[in-house]
Amino acid sequence: MRHARRVVPLLLLVALLGGCGRDDAAAADAPLPPELACQAGAWRLPDGQAMALTPATGGMRYRTMDGRSGLFAVADRGPDGTYRARTGWRAQGGFDARAVFDDCAAGRLDFRHAQGPDGEARRLALDIRETRFASGDLDLQGRLLMPAGARAPLPLAVLVHGSEPYSAIVHQPLQYLLPAQGIAVFVYDKRGTGGSTGRYSQDFHALAGDAVAALAEARRLAPGAFAHAGFVGGSQGGWIGPLAASRSDADYVVALYGLADGALAEDREQVLDGLRARGHGDDVLAQAREVTDATGQLMASGFTRGFDALRDVRRRYGDVPWFAELEGEFTGELVRIPGWLPHWLVRRIAMRRDVATSWDYEPLPVLEALRIPQLWVIAAQDEEAPNAETLRRIAHLQRRGQPVDLALFPRTDHGILEFEEVDGERTPLRHPPGYFPLLAEWIAGTAVDASADHGTATITPRSGATQVDQARNGLQPAPHPRPVGEIGIAEQ
């Protein structure tokens, strides 16, 4: 779940070993047993709520409409054929969900959860149309999903990738959870992933072009079928979705746990949050900003500028205790590169790992120019994408009178995931109740229904900004608290 994949992970180690440019990517996951993999789809549980099943590392992950999740792992299959799942992303402990899968053609499974429901689940019928479409000289793989038998016109959501380097068509759960609520979905594999051609990239401008092409393809597949259409992007998709909307005739855009600040800000705010957590004050934070300015210059320039600035901050602060505590998306790694390494060698290694990330992209002018409705869904305790500046910018857009709605979920991390924390390590447990229904409600009407139950979410509607700082700190909610549904991310 990275906004921007680290361009130089293990850079120092690679340099010292002399393995210039070798990218030790993780081996591909072993394929799931066919009788399990074919169970992917939308399901209706005995209590009437929908559930998505999607392949994940080692098994099949379920997500229910009320936000619960777990992994039916192949390794946890019992001798009687029963698959068991722990809560959320826990790797140890007891099991609270069980499933016995019927033959895939039967469209049935027996689902039992410690908190209910128990009984037979049925596969939901969807109208699924596979396609391939062009974006420039690339050939991308896509899929249109609509509720079977639904009357047109329907709202359409084009799902925009985050930074994940794997197939959205295989792993994205929203392609099932949204149609289960009456929303048509177009999902596609980003360039260089799944069935799409090209090289994996984090060039936001190129990826926005792919999203625009995806919207056009969805409309070509089902002319006149959509009442309105827009982009729904999670994480890095929070940059790409609005940019695509600015280049198309999209009717709305949804940004999930994304940033309204630039990509370099993600590293900077991670660094500063880490130092704050260790008790450092404003004086140290100001000095650390000098360090992130230097490392940011290195990254944004493709390692052609910034070496002198990095040398200077290392000379000034390299011996103070907080310097060794620097972390962030890339700053912690860059400051540990030995100063004696030749710049050309560092540059060469970095370039071999470069994925063309748009480090210089500034989203605010794009957001200010959009006149279509926007929904921002933010995790209040997001460690991966610290969002204090994003919340300030959203409030700025609302004060300008732009049609921007905000849903802030307390006690959630990146992915809008509630978590438990032990010894500083967080384990995701579930999506909050109300998250998925909120998404479908907003997409259907491109506005927040103030009378609806949005779970724990603090809603700041477009009519004016409210104070959200208390909610971010897990204190009393801001003036318009409303509960929300649940939405998922394509997480393995």
Question: The domain that contains 57 carries what CATH number?
Answer: 2.40.128
- Indicate whether 293 pLDDT > 60: yes
Domain check: are 222 and 105 in the same one?
A: no
Q: How far apart are the first and last CA of the chain?
A: 9
Domain check: are 336 and 240 in the same one?
A: no
Domain check: are 275 and 349 in the same one?
A: yes
- Indicate whether 396 pLDDT > 50: yes
Ramachandran class of 387: left when φ > 0, alpha when ψ lies in -120 to 50, beta otherwise: alpha
How many residues are given for the chain? 492
**Residue 16 covered by a domain:** no
Residue 416's nearest CA partner among 261, 271, 255 is 255
φ, ψ (nearest 5 deg) of residue 479: -55, -25
Average pLDDT, the chain: 87
Domain check: are 229 and 373 in the same one?
A: yes
- Indicate whether 163 pLDDT > 70: yes
Please report the pLDDT score of residue 305 as a whole number. 87
Q: What percent of the chain has pLDDT over 70?
A: 87
Domain check: are 119 and 149 in the same one?
A: no
Domain check: are 246 and 368 in the same one?
A: yes
Tens of pLDDT, residue by residue over 335-345, are 988 888 888 78
Q: Which residues contact 2 (CB under 8 A, 6 or more apart)?
A: 162, 163, 164, 235, 236, 384
Please report the pLDDT score of residue 478 as a whole number. 29
pLDDT band at 485 (very low <50, low <70, confident <90, very high): very low
Name the residue type at position 329: E
Q: How far is Cα 296 from Cα 326, in angstroms, rounded to an integer? A: 14
Domain check: are 246 and 388 in the same one?
A: yes
Preceding peptide of 477 cis, ω within 30° = no
**Higher pLDDT residue, 28 or 310?**
310
Please report the pLDDT score of residue 340 as a whole number. 82
Q: Is 206 in a helix, a strand, or coil? A: helix
Residue 469's nearest CA partner among 401, 426, 410 is 410
Least confident of 25-29, 41-45, 410-414, 430-434: 25-29
Domain check: are 66 and 107 in the same one?
A: yes
Please report the pLDDT score of residue 372 as a whole number. 97
Q: Which of 302, 331, 353 lies at the terminal end of a domain, its last residue?
A: 353
Least confident of 13-17, 397-401, 403-407: 13-17
Residue 415: CB atoms within 10 Å = 24
Cβ contact 200:165 at 8 Å: yes
> What is the mean predicted confidence (pLDDT) over 30-58?
94
DSSP 166: S
Tens of pLDDT, residue by residue over 400-444, are 999 999 999 999 999 999 999 998 899 999 999 999 999 999 999
Q: How far is Cα 362 from Cα 2, in angstroms, rounded to an integer? A: 19
φ, ψ (nearest 5 deg) of residue 450: -65, -15
Domain check: are 146 and 240 in the same one?
A: yes
Domain check: are 86 and 38 in the same one?
A: yes
Please report the pLDDT score of residue 29 as a whole number. 60
pLDDT band at 329 (very low <50, low <70, confident <90, very high): confident
- Indicate whether 2 pLDDT > 80: no
Name the residue range of residue 317's domain: 263-353
Q: Which of 296, 327, 353 lies at the terminal end of a domain, its last residue?
A: 353
pLDDT band at 472 (very low <50, low <70, confident <90, very high): very low
Q: What percent of the chain has pLDDT over 90?
A: 72
**Higher pLDDT residue, 242 or 265?**
242
> What is the mean predicted confidence (pLDDT) over 27-43?
84
- Indicate whether 39 pLDDT > 50: yes
pLDDT band at 17 (very low <50, low <70, confident <90, very high): very low
Please report the pLDDT score of residue 404 as a whole number. 97
Most confident stretch, 263-267, 298-302, 386-390, 403-407 = 403-407
**Residue 10 covered by a domain:** no
Domain check: are 45 and 104 in the same one?
A: yes
Number of domains in the chain: 3
Domain check: are 252 and 378 in the same one?
A: yes
Please report the pLDDT score of residue 152 as a whole number. 83
